[in-house]
A and B are shown apart, each in its own frame.
Chain A
Amino acid sequence: MREELLAIIERNSRIDLKELAVLLGTEEAMIAQELADMEAEGIICGYHTLIDWEKTSKDKVTALIEVRVTPQRGQGFDSVAERIYKYPEVQSVYLISGSYDLMVILEGKTMREVASFVSDKLSTLDSVLSAATHFIMKKYKDHGTVLDKKKEDEREMITP
């Protein structure tokens, strides 16, 4: 049941216990317990909202930064990653296989703000060898949801 429950709330974290119990064919108390357990176990890490900021008046830019670093003796990439993720403007940090080491996703108000973060804070860290910044120009799909357009039901109204 866990995976089915997770799959539902991954798409809709606002769904209430009663409805979850109906959809999964179980009791509300069971669901509440399962959710509490998974929060405690760190399986459920948060309940976020997917927002298309483009449609608001708030200015926001997102950048993907490919960072190459020197791993540190005894700690590998963990301590560099930690140094980077402590900045609140950093949304995500991933260790990546391939031609660079860390993928850093950054949000800022303007491109200038992001650029200054990269040059002043990120690149100046001792273990950072290089940083390549890519700005996101348009989000088509995020977290499995298409942001652009709603799909219409084109099926016939009644079919046998």
Chain B
Amino acid sequence: MRNPLSEKVVNIKPSGIRKFFDIASEMKDAISLGVGEPDFDTPWHIRDEGIYSLEKGRTFYTSNAGLKELREEIANYLYRKQGILYEHPLKEILVTVGGSEAIDIGFRAMINPGDEVLIPQPSFVSYEPCAVMAGATPVLINLKAENEFRLTAQELEEAITEKTRILVLPFPNNPTGAIMERKDLEEIAEVIIKHDIYVMSDEIYSELSYKEKHVSIAQIPGMKERTILINGFSKAFAMTGWRLGYACGPEAIIEQMIKIHQFAIMCAPTTSQYAAIEALKNGDEDVAEMCTAYNQRRRYLVHCFKEMGLECFEPYGAFYIFPCIKEFGMSSDDFAMRFLKEEKVAVVPGNAFGDCGEGYLRISYASSLENLKTAMGRLAEFIGRLRA
């Protein structure tokens, strides 16, 4: 029989998390700090709206780009929160199946064979494979701990070639918790405009920013017209399972993205869209409450690492902290595996998010304070043994 598989797909490495997942899932009594989603349930009034839409029999498709009311509410929300004005939400906003779909079809709508996509790492696992599947050549930028894993103008400048087409900007960052402040964005915006490249800004963690209010690159003058802004409901409103995100950007790009979305997906889940309208209209308080809880846990972990003498920059975004374990002379994989087996705590090796994450761990604080306390006690014991 002939080989039925696509070479391009076969050549994509499976997610580095997978192997670890299989082992951790066997250990039912382990504490997991390896989860990339909120530990909160979706606020009840939002769930209720989803249920109500089902009761009303709203079980049909929506228009391809999403409910009109939802796209208008997204525009209101972005203006209210960040002052970004999408004047024509029906042409500039597309509702997607999670931020993930937006990443995929954003690349597919913009890339021609051989185009280079700049991907700062450590970062979310999907950018590189999605860029490859869209026919691009991914070019990795290794972010550095001494810059608190921010992207600097110099790093960007050095990575740009004639073929560079898109820069992926993943901040607040999963897995490092790094943020880009306004001045950081202004510096890279200059380089971006000079070289006439586009930005795919993945701002799924925008609500979880603990230093100052999140700033989007689209707020920097001259940038909105060259930015695909990706966001969604998963992290801010604890709605991961609803699979709902969105992409905003110049009409010409969104139009092509809608075309792919229309043929591949049809439309995002209708129930989720109705729930999302409620989230945007009446969810600000819930978001603030969850954000306060995350911030308390974040401070707690920073404090614990300081006490343990574990090297770690203070993260100001998302719900991750990214301590350095190079002092123990073992790989991230080995450390995480031993920690899991000996102390029954699951964390994710940093190299799952790019080779430059080697020597680090991603610890998620989307877990109750009680769990975090137990886990930190075990971590202190574990590294005590390693140092002995």
Contacts and interface: CB of A to CB of B under 8 A. Distances in A.
B37 A159 contact: yes
B297 to A, nearest CB: 8
Contacts of A4: 292
Interface in A1-26: 4, 7-8, 19, 22-25
B25 A22 contact: no
A160 B296 contact: no
Given A22-B303, A23-B296, A24-B296, A158 B20 contact: yes
Interface string A133-159: 000000000000000000001011111
Given A22-B303, A23-B300, A157 B352 contact: no
A158 B24 contact: yes
A7 B293 CA distance: 10
A12 B296 CA distance: 14
How many B residues touch the partner, as a band?
Answer: 20 to 34
B35 A156 contact: yes
Nearest to A160: B125
Contact of A158 (B35, B39, B296, B297): B35
A157 B32 contact: yes
A157 B296 contact: no
A157 B299 contact: no
A155 B296 contact: no
Nearest to A19: B300
Contact of A160 (B15, B25, B30, B299): B15
B300 A158 contact: no
Contacts of A159: 17, 34-37
A160 B352 CA distance: 9
B67 interface: no
A160 B303 contact: no
B24 A157 contact: yes
Contacts of B32: 153, 155, 157-158
A127 B39 CA distance: 52
Interface in B30-47: 30, 32, 34-37, 39
B217 interface: no
Nearest to A153: B39
A159 B20 CA distance: 10
Interface in B1-46: 15, 17, 20-21, 24-25, 27, 30, 32, 34-37, 39
Nearest to B301: A22
A156 B299 contact: no
Contacts of A8: 296
B346 interface: yes
B89 to A, nearest CB: 30
Contacts of A23: 296-297, 299-300, 369
A160 B292 contact: no
Task: Pick the most buried of A4, A7, A155, A156: most chain B CB atoms within 10 A of its CB.
Answer: A155
B124 interface: yes
A15 to B, nearest CB: 9
B348 interface: yes
A11 to B, nearest CB: 10
B237 to A, nearest CB: 16
B299 to A, nearest CB: 5
Interface string B340-361: 0000001010001000000000
Contact of A156 (B21, B30, B39): B21
21 contacts: A8-B296, A23-B296, A23-B299, A23-B300, A23-B369, A24-B296, A155-B35, A155-B37, A156-B21, A157-B24, A157-B25, A157-B34, A157-B35, A158-B20, A158-B24, A158-B25, A158-B35, A158-B346, A158-B348, A159-B17, A159-B35
Given A22-B300, A159-B17, 4 more contacts: A7-B292, A23-B299, A157-B27, A159-B36
